[in-house]
Amino acid sequence: MRGSVVGFANSITPLYPRRPFGTLSNSPEGTSRVARGDAPIRRIKRTPRELTGLPHMNKLLTLLFLFTLPLTAQKMIAPPGATCDPLTGLCTPAPLGAAAGAEVEFRDDVEIIYVGDPMCSWCWGISPALNRLEKAAAANGIPYRIVLGGLRPGGGEPWNEEFKGFLSHHWEEVNKRSGQPFGDKLFERENFNYDTEPSCRAVVAARSMDPAIESRFFELTQYGFYVLNEDPSETSFYAPICEKLGLDFDRFKTLFESAEMKAATMADFQLNRGWGVTGYPTVVFRKGDQMVAIARGYAEFEEMWGAVNQLSQEE
């Protein structure tokens, strides 16, 4: 696990642990039941009094003392608004206007929240692990949802050899570490605006039509961009995705181009920044009013699920 955060009341404060939360035990098959996600998790509920009590604060102070370390990973040299760290697998978003009081609606006692962007390459790298995490969460009755990040809303970087070189090198790093495929036809385009807002808005539109297919829509959008190198800013990009997932494309097109979906997408961007999320991918486990990042940057499934298992059982 590359980083962890602990927070209360819709805010997140970053911590950088010495080691992952949760230690997976070995089994004859080479992995524990916890790592496969098929072991039941004991659900614990807390009252607001328990959350704010002195014993809980003592535990938090202990965690701060034991697990806090400075982040020393070296940053790649990149154009403004395009900073990604090859060591942590974390992409830092471009600045955004101040949030207008955005707050999360806590719908269940516990949930897993994935904060990512379809055009964040490390979000593509972590995708297989997130697929396993979502399935393990479902098997244990833990809700899983997506908050769209907004890596580069509006884009605007010059589409020149410097920027192409940055992307190409960065994609190679992600491929080496994750094994995820990448195409190279994007770099043959004479013009391209690396605007991530439309792809995020497409996921929000799909969510409004059928929340059950949101994760799959997100992943297919990533595949269309990173492997097929098509342009997610074009409405036609989503026609085959809608067909594959059984969504009415005409209705999707209307939603995708609507002011309502643009506002809903911006609300997701402001929400995660309001929490203090500073890069993607970030995966958060929330229990009551406590929010803990089980991944901040690239992570394997076993790391994330081990953290979920341990945090779920903590009193």
| Sequence ranges of the domains in the chain | 4-313
The residue ranking higher by pLDDT, 66 or 195, is 195
Report how far apart, in Å, the C-alpha atoms of 24 and of each of 11, 57, 153, 299, 307 are. Answer: 29, 27, 39, 15, 10
Average pLDDT over residues 119-124: 97
**pLDDT average, residue stretch 218-223:** 98
- By C-alpha distance, which of 198, 189, 145 is closest to 168? 189
Contacts of range 23-30, beta carbons closer than 8 Å, 24 or more positions apart: 23/306, 24/302, 24/306
Model confidence, pTM:
0.72
* Of 195, 193, 216, 200, the residue nearest 272 (C-alpha): 200
Instruction: Return the structure tokens found at 46.
Output: 């807390």
| Percentage, residues of the chain above pLDDT 70 | 65
Can you say whether residue 288 is alpha, beta or left, with left for phi > 0 and alpha for psi between -120 and 50 degrees? left
> What is the arithmetic mean of pLDDT over 296-312?
94
CA–CA distance, 85 with 99 (Å, rounded to integer):
26
Per-residue pLDDT for 312 more than 90? no
In three-state secondary structure terms, 199 is helix
**Residue 23 and residue 61: Cα distance in Å, rounded?**
21
> Angle, nearest 10°, between helix axes 127-139 and 214-226?
170
| Mean pLDDT lowest among 8-22, 65-79, 88-102, 285-299 | 65-79
Q: What is the pLDDT of residue 193?
A: 97
Q: Which fold has domain 4-313?
A: Glutaredoxin (3.40.30)
Question: What is the band of 140 on the pLDDT scale with cuts at 50, 70, 90?
Answer: very high
